[in-house]
């Protein structure tokens, strides 16, 4: 039998404090020890700004691609039975189970200059490894499961008869998607996008190999944090990490507010 509210609440608060709040508060304290001028100087260097620009742009681009591909994959898995569907469905979770470093080495081997796909692509003038394009590819790989898994249950709950009724009333496929499906899918779609973005913003293992780690070109912010720690610049690393943490937290906070807003039409009416 589960314990009552006081015990459950106490265990919950203690677990969250030890696992989440305590490590994050340590980061905030380390950053708070810096003076305002030192904090701004640590973030304003061209190398740091270039890493932020690359990380944000790659994470946004990868989340957008993963969201679009995730919708299509989730639709096929839910609406179209086919041989081997369970096997394909299990592959979606592979990036969750696979160590990120293994994923990075695999992608680099595959898309490198001498890789199975990298060599013919370079012959066509398309270079993947050691470019921002390779970073986006790696982030799509680790972000795709978020989009698929958030959309699948929503699609499974949608009644196909509603779409058939709209079609019988003369609605086109575009109108059915925009007016019947999209309002139901949008919260889950945005959830998958936000989770993929937040994961991609802080991703390190799957990106560090395929990026090439060239400062001002393919150096991501998480890698720069590791570089500064190796140089014993703890304050500089904490400043960069704090900015990444703040961006991810604000993104997820906005997502939670949107979900609460969309799930409470009575509250919206007020």
Residue 192 to residue 68: CA distance in whole angstroms: 10
Residues 173/92, Cβ–Cβ less than 8 Å:
no
pLDDT band with cut points at 50, 70 and 90 for residue 14: confident
Q: pLDDT by residue (tens digit) across 133-176? A: 999 999 999 999 999 999 999 999 988 888 888 888 888 888 88
Residue 172 maps to a domain: yes
Enter the DSSP assignment of 34: S
Closest to 207 (Cα-Cα) out of 196, 224, 189, 220 = 220
Residue 234 maps to a domain: yes
pLDDT number for residue 270? 43
Residue 43 maps to a domain: yes
Q: What is the residue range of 245's domain?
A: 38-263
pLDDT band with cut points at 50, 70 and 90 for residue 66: very high
**C-beta pairs of 245-254 under 8 Å, 24+ apart in sequence:** 245/24, 245/27, 247/56, 247/201, 248/198, 248/201, 248/202, 251/194, 251/197, 251/198, 252/194, 252/198, 254/194
pLDDT number for residue 193? 93
Closest to 207 (Cα-Cα) out of 62, 128, 108 = 108
Residue 27 to residue 244: CA distance in whole angstroms: 12
Residue 136 to residue 140: CA distance in whole angstroms: 6
Residue 77 to residue 86: CA distance in whole angstroms: 9
Closest to 101 (Cα-Cα) out of 132, 142, 140, 131 = 142
Residue 180 maps to a domain: yes
Residues 134/128, Cβ–Cβ less than 8 Å:
yes
pLDDT number for residue 50? 94
Residue 3 maps to a domain: no
242 Cβ contact list (under 8 Å, min separation 6): 27, 28, 31
211: number of Cβ within 10 Å: 24
Tell me how many domains the chain contains.
Answer: 1
Residue 27 maps to a domain: no
Q: Above 60 in pLDDT, residue 2? A: no
Residue 24 maps to a domain: no
When the pLDDT of each residue in the chain is averaged and rounded to a whole number, the result is 86
- Counts for the chain of helices (H) and strands (E), in that order: 16, 0
Q: pLDDT by residue (tens digit) across 218-255? A: 999 999 999 988 888 888 888 898 889 888 888 888 88
More confident residue, 173 or 196: 196
Residue whose pair of structure tokens reads 């509250």 in the numeric block: 267
More confident residue, 200 or 1: 200
Specify the CATH number for the domain of residue 64.
1.10.3720.10
- Which alpha helices (DSSP H) does 124-176 contain, by range? 132-157, 160-168, 173-176
Q: pLDDT by residue (tens digit) across 99-143? A: 888 888 889 999 988 888 989 998 888 999 999 999 999 999 999
Residue 19 maps to a domain: no
pLDDT number for residue 70? 94
Q: Above 70 in pLDDT, residue 48? A: yes
Residue 172 to residue 167: CA distance in whole angstroms: 7
């Amino acid at each position: 039998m589960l314990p009552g509210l006081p015990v459950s609440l106490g265990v919950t608060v203690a677990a969250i404090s030890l696992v989440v709040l305590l490590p994050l508060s340590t980061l905030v304290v380390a950053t708070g020890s810096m003076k305002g001028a030192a904090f701004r100087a640590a973030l304003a260097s061209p190398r740091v700004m270039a890493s932020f620009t690359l990380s944000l742009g790659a994470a946004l681009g990868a989340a957008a691609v993963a969201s679009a591909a995730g919708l299509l994959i989730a639709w096929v898995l839910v609406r179209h039975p086919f041989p081997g569907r369970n096997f394909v469905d299990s592959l979606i979770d592979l990036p969750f189970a696979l160590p990120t470093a293994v994923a990075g080495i695999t992608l680099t081997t595959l898309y490198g200059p001498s890789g199975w796909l990298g060599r013919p692509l370079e012959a066509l003038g398309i270079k993947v490894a050691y470019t921002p394009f390779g970073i986006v590819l790696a982030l799509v790989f680790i972000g795709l499961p978020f989009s698929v898994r958030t959309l699948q249950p929503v699609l499974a709950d949608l009644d196909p008869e509603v779409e058939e009724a709209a079609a019988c009333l003369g609605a086109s496929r575009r109108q059915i998607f925009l007016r019947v499906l999209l309002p139901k899918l949008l919260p889950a779609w945005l959830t998958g996008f936000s989770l993929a973005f937040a994961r991609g913003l802080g991703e390190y293992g799957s990106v560090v190999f395929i990026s090439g780690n060239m400062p001002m070109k393919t150096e991501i912010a998480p890698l720069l944090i590791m570089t500064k720690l190796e140089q014993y610049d703890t304050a500089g690393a904490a400043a960069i990490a704090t900015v990444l943490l703040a961006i991810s937290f604000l993104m997820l906070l906005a997502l939670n507010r949107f979900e609460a807003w969309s799930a409470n039409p009575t509250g919206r009416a007020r």
